[in-house]
Amino acid sequence: MLSFAQILISGILTGALYALVGIGLTIIFGVMRVINFAHGELLMVGMYISFFAATLLGLDPYVSLLIVAPALFVIGVLIQRYLINPVLKAPEFNQILVTLGVGLVLTNSAQLLFTADYRQVRTAYSSLTWGGNLAISVPYTVSFLLALAITAALYVFLMRTDLGKAMRATAQDREAARLMGINVERVSMVAFGIGAAAAGAAGTLLMPVYYLFPAVGEPFTLKAFVVVVLGGMGSVIGATFGGLILGAVEAIGSLYASTGYKDAYGFVIFLLILILKPSGLFGRSRV
Amino acid sequence: MAVDRGTPNAEATAAERAGEPLLTVEAVDAFYGDAQALWGVTLKVGPGEVVALIGANGAGKTTTLRVISGLMRPEAGSVTMLGRRLDRLSPHEIVEAGVAQVPEGRRLFPLMTVRENLEMGAYGRQARARRRETMDDVFAMFPVLKERREQLAGTLSGGEQQMVAIGRGLMARPRLLMFDEPSLGLAPKLVRGIFETVTAIRDTGVAVLLVEQNVPQSLAICDRAFVLENGRTTLSGTGRELLANERVKTAYMGL
C-alpha cells in the first residue's frame, strides 16, 4: 500500500510537467490549428539554456526559468512568424512537415553544438525527500508546484485579459475574430510564443531531476500529444487533467506491469479515448 | 436606440461636410482563385444612410462585403472611406477606420459569454477606450442581453444570438455597420425586429450597408439600393424607385 501511494504521488507530480508541455501544444493547436511536432524539441532547447545558465552562470535551475521562458517565447514568436504563418493556408500535411523539420533541425543542431553527451545539473536538493516513509522527492514537488502556478497564471491570462480573450476568440472563429478588429497574426505569434515558453518552462522544471541530451524532447512531443487528445484538442483545462492522468497511469502501469513499457501505457489510454470519447474529456470547455 | 452614442470613432471630415459619400466602392474586380466573382462593382454609402445590396444567391453580395472588410483583396478598383483607401489595409485596420460587420450566420464565439463576445467587438484601440459606455448602450437596446451577459453565447436562442451579433458590431463604434443576411433563419416575428433595429441604428447616425434576401422589407426601409447580378452592379436607385421597378419585382419579389 505504501509503495502504491508513493508511486501514485510521484506519477501525479510528474504529470504536472506533462500537463505543462501539453498546455503549450494545446494553445498552439487551438489558435493555429497546427500540431507542433517540434514541441518536445522546444523543451530540449529550454533544458540546454537552463543547463548552461547553471554551469556557466551558476544559476539554480528554478531561477533560470526567468531566462528560459522569455527566450523560448521569442523563439516561438519567430517560428510562428517566419515558418508557420507562411504555411497556415497550406494543406495540413505541409504544416506537419514544417514542424517536424523544425524539430529535426533543433535536435541535430544541439548534437552538433553540444555533442550527444548526457548532462545533468546536480543541486543540493536533487535527492532530498519529504513525507517520512513515503519519501517524496523534494525537487519533483517544487517542480509540481511551479508547474501548477504557471498553469493557473495561464488560465487567468486566458480568462481575464483582453489578449487572452482575443486568443480564445481566434481559436473559436479566426475569421470572425478578424472582423472584430483582432490582429490575428499578432495573436498567433503570441500564442506560439506562450506555447513554446510553456514547453521550455517544463524542460527547466525537469532539469533538477532529469538528464539532458539532444534527443531528450522526442518522447515529450508524443506525451504532449496524448495529453492534448486526452483532455480535448485546444482545451487548457483538459490538458491539465490529461497530464495528471497520464502521469498517474504511467506510474501505476509501471508498478503493476513493467517499467519497461512505461511509455506504452499512455498510448493505451490514448487509443481508449479516441474510441470512446474522441472529443476528449474537456473538448467543449471555455479554456 | 434612444440613447445618444456620442461621436463616432472618426470626427467628421471636410469631405463629409461637403456631402461626399462615407464609403465608395469603385470598379472592384475580385477573384476566388481563377474564378472572377466581382466585375467592376461600384456602390456608395452616404453618412447616416441605409443602403441595401440585393441580388440572387451567388451574385457577389457577400464577396463585396469581404472586399470592404479586408478579408479579400480586390484585383482592381478601390474601396475608400472619406477619401482614405481601405483596400490595402488589414481587416483590423479597417475596423479601426470605422467599418464593422455583423457576419452571415452570426459567427459568435460560442464558448465565450455574451459579455466577452461584446468585449471582443470593441477590441480596437479607440473602441476599447469607451467599451463600458458602449456596452451600456447595447444593453439599453437589447435588455435581454444584460440579463444573459454571463451566459455562453452558444447556448442562446437564435434571436438572442442575432442580438449579440448586432451588439458586437455596434461595440466597435463604427461609422458604417454592414449586415450580411441578418434575418436568415429567424422566425417572422423576429425578422420585423431586425429591420426595426437597423432603422434604429441608422437613427443614431451610423450608416448601414444591408445585404438581405428579404428584398421587399429591405427596399422599404433603405434610402438607396444597389442590385448585383452575376458579380456586376446592374441597377441602383432609391428604395422606392426599385420597389416600383418591374425587373426587381419579377426577379426578387416573386410578383
pLDDT (0 to 100) of residue B16: 52
Contact indicator for A249, A266 with CB cutoff of 8 Å: yes
**Residue B168: strand pairing partners:** none
pLDDT (0 to 100) of residue B17: 54
B139: closest CA of chain A, how far (Å): 19
User: Cβ A183–B92 below 8 Å, yes or no?
Assistant: yes
A91: closest CA of chain B, how far (Å): 16
pLDDT at A36 over 60: yes
Q: What percent of chain B has pLDDT over 90?
A: 84
Residue extents of the structural domains in chain A: 2-276
pLDDT in tens, B116-165: 999 999 999 999 999 999 999 999 999 999 999 999 999 999 999 999 99
- CATH number at A2-276: 1.10.3470
Which residues does chain A have within 8 Å of residue B155's beta carbon, measured at their own beta carbons? none
User: Cβ B121–A178 below 8 Å, yes or no?
Assistant: no
pLDDT at A161 over 50: yes
pLDDT (0 to 100) of residue B5: 45
* Length of chain B counted residue by residue: 255
pLDDT at B9 over 80: no
Of the candidates A30, A72, A57, A37, which has an alpha carbon nearest to the alpha carbon of residue A168? A30
Candidate from A166, A284, A286 with C-beta closest to B120: A166
B243: closest CA of chain A, how far (Å): 32
- State the DSSP H helix or E strand holding residue B120, giving kind and residue range, or none if neither: helix B114-121
- Which H, E and C letters describe chain A, residue by residue? CHHHHHHHHHHHHHHHHHHHHHHHHHHHHHHHCCCCCCHHHHHHHHHHHHHHHHHHCCCCCCCCHHHHHHHHHHHHHHHHHHHHHHHCCCCHHHHHHHHHHHHHHHHHHHHHHHCCCCECCCCCCCCCEECHHHCEEHHHHHHHHHHHHHHHHHHHHHHHCHHHHHHHHHHHCHHHHHHCCCCHHHHHHHHHHHHHHHHHHHHHHHCCCCCECCCCCHHHHHHHHHHHHHHCCCCHHHHHHHHHHHHHHHHHHHHHCCHHHHHHHHHHHHHHHHHHCCCCCCCCCCC
A171: closest CA of chain B, how far (Å): 9
pLDDT in tens, A167-193: 999 999 999 999 999 999 999 999 999
**B12 falls in which pLDDT band (50, 70, 90)?**
low
Radius of gyration from C-alpha coordinates of chain B: 17
pLDDT (0 to 100) of residue A127: 87
CA dihedral B83, B88, B94, B100 (to 10 degrees): 100
Which residues does chain A have within 8 Å of residue B124's beta carbon, measured at their own beta carbons? 181
How many A-B residue pairs are in contact by the CB < 8 A criterion? 71
pLDDT in tens, B21-45: 999 999 999 999 999 999 999 999 9
pLDDT (0 to 100) of residue B100: 97
Which of B71, B123, B132 to probe the A interface (max A CBs under 10 A)?
B123
